[in-house]
């Protein structure tokens, strides 16, 4: 990310990493500060890349709520770590996205190759409110 920005004369990078992503070491504020320091030391002050992570202190549910308020076309967004043409549904970003939409009671408009909720409907009965889940024995 830093090298691409430098190559294209970009000094400000906005990255939508959120608090759920902080399980990875390269998604901490200290990591982005270190990247900035490295670009300054290697390229000079005028070429230092600054990484802006405005969602790092909030979780995926809060990001989705903010996006809903802004009218984000979530059907046009991508979360899958595996690439492809359809979200895989099993990688961490897919599971986080799908679970967050489910918690909020909002239908995620993207397609999943494996939908963790649709596949478990036979085992889990979700009642009227998404906050009430009961296991069927």
On whether residue 137 sits in a domain, the answer given is no
Inter-helix orientation angle 92-104/60-70, to 10°:
60
Q: pTM of the full predicted structure? A: 0.72
- Does 53 share its domain with 63? no
What is the rounded CA–CA span in Å between residue 7 and residue 47? Answer: 10
φ and ψ of 25, to 5 deg:
-60, -30
Could you give the CA distance from residue 137 to residue 129 in angstroms, rounded to a whole number? 20
Q: Quick one: 82 and 120 in the same domain?
A: yes
| 30 and 69 fall within a common domain | no
Give the domain-ending residue among 19, 40, 58: 58
**pLDDT < 70: residue spans in the chain:** 119-137
pLDDT of residue 23: 80
Domain count along the chain: 2
Q: Which domain holds residue 1?
A: 1-58
Cα 61 to chain center, whole Å? 10
């Amino acid at each position: 990310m830093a090298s691409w920005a430098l190559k294209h004369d970009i000094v400000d990078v906005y990255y939508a990493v959120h608090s759920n992503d902080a399980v990875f070491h390269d998604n901490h504020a200290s990591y982005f500060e270190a990247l900035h320091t490295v670009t300054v030391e290697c390229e000079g002050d005028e070429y230092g890349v600054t990484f802006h992570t405005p969602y790092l202190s909030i979780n995926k549910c809060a990001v989705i709520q903010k996006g809903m308020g802004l009218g984000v076309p979530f059907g046009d967004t991508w979360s899958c770590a595996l690439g492809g043409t359809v979200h895989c549904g099993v990688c961490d970003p897919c599971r986080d996205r799908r679970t967050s939409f489910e918690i909020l009671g909002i239908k995620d408009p993207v397609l999943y190759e494996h939908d963790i909720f649709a596949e478990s409907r036979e085992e889990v009965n979700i009642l009227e409110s998404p906050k009430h889940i009961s296991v069927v024995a």
